[in-house]
Amino acid sequence: MSAATIMNGQDHQEQCGEEVADGLSAARLFGQGITYTYDDVIFHPGHIYFAAHEVSLATQLTREIKLASPVVSSPMDTVTEADMAIMMASLGGIGFVHYNMPLEQQVQTVQKVKQQAVGFVANPVVLSREMLAGTNQEKQASNGACITDTGAVGGRLQGMVTLSGQVLTAEGVGALTQPRQNMLPKVLDTTSLEEAQTIMAEHQLQSLPLVDQDGKLVKVAYKQIVAPSLDSQGRYLVGAAVGTRQEDRTRVDQLRSQAEVDVVILDSSQGDSTYQIEMLQHLKKAHPGLQVIAGNVVTGAQARRLIAAGADALRVGMGSGSICTTQEVCAVGRGQATAVYHVGRVARAAGVPIIADGGVQNSGHIVKALALGASTVMCGSMFAGTTEAPGEYFTVNGTKVKKYRGMGSLEAMQKGSESRYYGDTQHIKIAQGVSGTVKDKGSIRQTVPFLLQATRQGFQDLGAKDLPSAHQLLQSGQMRVECRTGSAQAEGGVHDMYSFDKVRW
């Protein structure tokens, strides 16, 4: 088509008084009475004036708590306990310990996070030379493992398997495999964390074993790629979920006094209730320094009531999780993209951050959630099946898996989560979730850095250098969005390939 033809077409449109919109503002798209998921919407690219590494993902979890990473882990009993919470804090986010356990156990779990030495692996994988020779153990070691003569911490260090699968041999030890690998530097346990970081940078290592004078493994440091989430005493930040029953007030008292938890989530599938408002008001009065996250909500009206009651942040989402059946069973909920936009619009005016909870399947969904108004994104299914998730691996039809279930599943309810769905007083338990398995995903020490870098690149394409910039573009209408047809969604993914390998990084 010639330039003249294009100009004539524009002249005709102007003469006819037609106005052609090049994309829509978010206010217009989400104001049509249609509910959208993340996959339904797409953003127009903005103007790039900065490099991707210049993008800052620093954000507010609550009114008072800042994070270097906008990714947090869900308080589900197959997602977050101590190991997950420690690793999330070390990566600049935060983990929320579930409450589908006795009070004493939840207190101990939070205490374990608080007591963990910053910069060191909580439960390092340690193998013996004989274990390394086994096929399954080699696969396990590919997540990064130390090798000692006993196969445990305290044994004489013989080498290390890096995250990339490379085998490094310790000084004075014969080759662990053939041909002989590179040497592993000997670092004493008296070495400071800062010095250990320098050594890892020099040798391009992701982790570093520290030994005593006799060469016995004492602990393992890891490379810090982002500022960890720390409290005022230099300990890891950690959150915990609680319910709204009378006994949950005692639970919070113990979590605060014995474990010094930093933030609590009032965990409910539908948070706009008198129960939650009363609990919120009680906690803000009884524990003035405690940050309290309310929810879940999906509408502006719900958000206003909880903000008025004193919420320090809101958790957004209802029925959008991969294991959630609330929309199917109860016929209530909302598409997650629409929910995040409308709750974010109300919360932003009140200075209250929101957490996009549910429906996140990839880094693009994280970009969309943040760009539509969220300050953080909560991941459940993305982190289920990882090394840090609770539970043991087992094999199904030759595939290594872990259990993953919704807190509304009958299996989880039998352990006590029914109060989350107001079902603890009912004779018949109605499931609002399912139970199943997910494939082994390795460590989130690999997954989260990938997600963060992909998010930075997404923000670069949007022309937003940080979260406040993205929210300003959204609010002003400069950020243009459109709804994608089914064909557009198919075109936006991999297609017309006979076979392919989808390698993320």
Q: How many residues does the chain have?
A: 505
Q: How far is CA 176 from the centre of its chain?
A: 36
Sheet holding 167-170, edge to edge: 126-127, 145-148, 157-161, 167-170, 183-184
CA dihedral 420, 422, 427, 433 (to 10 degrees): -50
For residue 420, give both structure tokens: 């989350």
Per the residue annotation, which of 251, 305, 315, 324 is the catalytic one? 324
222 C-beta neighbours (distance < 10 Å), count: 23
- 364 membership: H or E segment, kind and range: helix 363-371
Rounded Cα gap, residues 134 and 155, in angstroms? 19
- Coil, strand, or helix at residue 378? strand
Rounded to a whole number, what is the distance in angstroms from the first to the last CA of the chain? 40
Name which of 159, 156, 160 is nearest 142 in CA terms.
Answer: 160
296: preceding bond cis by omega (within 30 degrees)? yes
Question: Catalytic annotation on 305?
Answer: no
Question: Catalytic annotation on 379?
Answer: no
CA angle 438, 439, 443 (to 5 degrees): 110
499 C-beta neighbours (distance < 10 Å), count: 4
Rounded Cα gap, residues 316 and 426, in angstroms? 26
- Coil, strand, or helix at residue 414? coil
Name which of 372, 403, 361 is nearest 386 in CA terms.
Answer: 403
CA angle 385, 391, 394 (to 5 degrees): 70
For residue 146, give both structure tokens: 């130390």
Per the residue annotation, which of 305, 345, 420, 456 is the catalytic one? 420
Residues assigned a catalytic role: 324, 420
